[in-house]
């Protein structure tokens, strides 16, 4: 269970850091750049802790899948990025994959 908490923290850190990349304007804006650096630091630290109990392939699949979905949602609301039907279907498939891994895979350690 602790591994999943660490993975959740890593996902939140990655989503925050990635969401601030655009605002950093190529690392020319101090505060957004600091958020990016701290966010990725938190991300990789907690992801490394999560991988002590979660297989790397499963952990990475969950981390990247949930991160993609959350960053897409934030980009829609914060930056006005539109998501067409193929994008929404793709995001739905990513979510379905994460659910299948968590609910049915014997490879995932909880």
pLDDT digits (tens, 9 = 90+) for 12-63: 999 999 999 999 999 999 999 999 999 999 999 999 999 999 999 889 988 9
Backbone angles phi, psi at 55, to 5 degrees: -60, 140
**Mean residue pLDDT across the chain:** 91
For residue 38, the surrounding DSSP H or E stretch is helix 30-50
Has residue 110 got a pLDDT over 70? Answer: no
Per-residue confidence (pLDDT) for residue 37, from 0 to 100: 98
Give the global pTM.
0.85
Has residue 88 got a pLDDT over 60?
yes
Residue 108 in this model has a pLDDT that exceeds 70:
no
Contact 106, 57 (CB under 8 A): no
Contacts 24+ apart (CB under 8 A), 23-31: none
31, two tokens: 């505060």
- Is residue 40 within 8 A of residue 17, CB to CB? The reply is yes
Using CA atoms, how far apart are residues 93 and 86, in angstroms rounded to an integer? 10
């Amino acid at each position: 269970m602790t591994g999943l908490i660490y993975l959740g923290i890593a996902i939140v850190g990655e989503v925050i850091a990635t969401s601030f990349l655009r605002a950093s304007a190529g690392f020319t804006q101090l505060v957004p750049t600091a958020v990016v650096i701290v966010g990725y630091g938190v991300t990789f630290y907690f992801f490394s802790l999560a991988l002590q109990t979660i297989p790397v392939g499963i952990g990475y699949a969950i981390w990247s899948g949930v991160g993609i979905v959350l960053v897409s949602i934030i980009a829609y609301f914060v930056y006005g990025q539109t998501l067409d039907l193929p994008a929404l279907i793709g995001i739905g498939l990513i979510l379905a994959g994460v659910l299948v891994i968590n609910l049915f895979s014997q490879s995932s350690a909880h």
